Amino acid sequence: MSRTGEGPDSSRGNGGRAHTHAAFSALLEDSAEELYESAPCGYLSTLMDGTIAKINTTLLNWLGLDREDVVGRRRFVDLLTVGGKLYHETHFAPLLRMQGELRGIALEMRTAQGARLAVLVSSAVKYGSEGDPLLIRTTVFDASDRRAYEEELLRRRQEAEHARAEAEAARRQAEADRQRLADALAVLQRSLLPETLPRLPGIETAVYYHTASPDRLGGDFYDLFPLGDGRWAFFLGDVCGKGPEAASLTSLTRHTLRTAAHHDPTPVTALTTLNTVLHERYSASGDPRYCTVVYGILEPGRDGGPATVQLASGGHPPALVLRADGGVDLLSTPGGLLVGVLPSAPVVTAGTTLAPGDTLLLYTDGLTEARTGPTRASLYGEDALYGFVAAQAPTTAQELVTALTALLKGFGEGLDDDTALLALGVPGIPAHPLPVTDDPR
């Protein structure tokens, strides 16, 4: 345990303490004048009009000036830059006269070589015994490093603001470009589909089209148009791919089928012509394009009677017929190949009669391939579709499409492919027709 008054160096005895006192004494030999002249900051004293009465060596060295050229010959404001002089006259000097003291004011001084020296200035007025101001004492600190740091921070902030402005401009431009692209794609998509279905005598029609991605062109298509002899041609299909290439294929397919229908509307002939056109157009490029399609001819009956349907299919899901008695028929077309893959492809035909109350349904595989689970292993499937459709029979074309539309929306994100629906039906005969009467009431 150390005795009272003994520190860690007590083992060194009186000799150690004497050495320490000698070192402090040597340090204290510096005179006040030496401390003033060699201080790490600048000192100067001025009269109340700013004339420099005293200045230390440190500040003279910073400015590159000689004492005899400064003391009594220059004012404090003469040491400042133009901007510093303006600030001194408009802010610094009035505030100092009013408050008697200012601390940490950022100014710029001018060296003998014309360079700028960033400084922090603190000034205080010395008053006499009567309260009269006698002189101004000023301390100057070199703020070059601080100014450089602040300028670097400012530059970085300006760069960041500029980058943010550029990013925001780029975002707005990208948003505008996306909107223009979306508008253009919407116009192009509408050009690939009929705006509305025509009105057929004695036939009710309904259609629904779902695009899986709103910013991409859909690959499904449909059409319904007159042949000029009381018959109507219709088709519905699905091209391979998405985007502009699919749009080009869709446009070619619709144009070819319409042209073929007016030349020879026979379903087999129309699909054979389409197969030849697609194969010749794309096979040479080494990137074959194809589609699945069902094409048919509808001849409405007279006075609301049965309508006849003849159709052909190239690799497309079979059509369904909902009967007025509640049954559902499958117009199977097995063996039909994808259209456009081979130079010649077999086309399978089928036909039926639509009695009053019957409805024909065509659809693309986006409906049956909708996901009902988290993976592609869980698809809605044809059996589920047949069961759903059977539960709707008997029904009208519009009621059927409305029910299927609700089903599609229920899949949510599971509906990740384009889907088209086209329904054609013969209106049913009212179960209890009103009696004919001559009574004007």
Q: Which residue ranges make up each domain of the chain?
A: 28-142, 151-191, 196-425
For residue 97, what are the CA distances in angstroms to 48, 78, 125, 126, 440?
Answer: 9, 19, 8, 11, 110
Task: Note the pLDDT of residue 373.
Answer: 82
Domain pair 28-142 / 196-425, same fold = no
Task: Note the pLDDT of residue 241.
Answer: 78
- Is pLDDT of 87 > 90? yes
Task: Note the pLDDT of residue 15.
Answer: 62
Determine the Cα–Cα distance for residues 138 and 122; give it in Å rounded to an integer.
6
Nearest CA to 306 among 232, 357, 372?
Answer: 357
Dihedral, CA of residue 166, residue 168, residue 169 and residue 172, to nearest 10 = 160
> What mean pLDDT is reported for the chain?
86
Tell whether domain 196-425 is in CATH 3.90.79.10.
no
Tell whether domain 28-142 is in CATH 3.30.450.20.
yes
Return the SS3 of 74. coil
- Is pLDDT of 1 > 60? no
**pLDDT digits 0-9 by tens, 107-116:** 999 999 999 9
- Please give the full DSSP string across 243-292, using - where no structure is assigned: HHHHHHHHHHHHHHHHHHHHH---HHHHHHHHHHHHHHHHGGGT----EE
**Contacts of residue 269, Cβ cutoff 8 Å, sequence gap at least 6:** 260
**Contacts of residue 423, Cβ cutoff 8 Å, sequence gap at least 6:** 205, 206, 207, 359, 360, 361, 362, 397, 398, 400, 401
Task: Note the pLDDT of residue 438.
Answer: 43
For residue 433, what are the CA distances in angstroms to 357, 399, 428?
Answer: 15, 22, 11
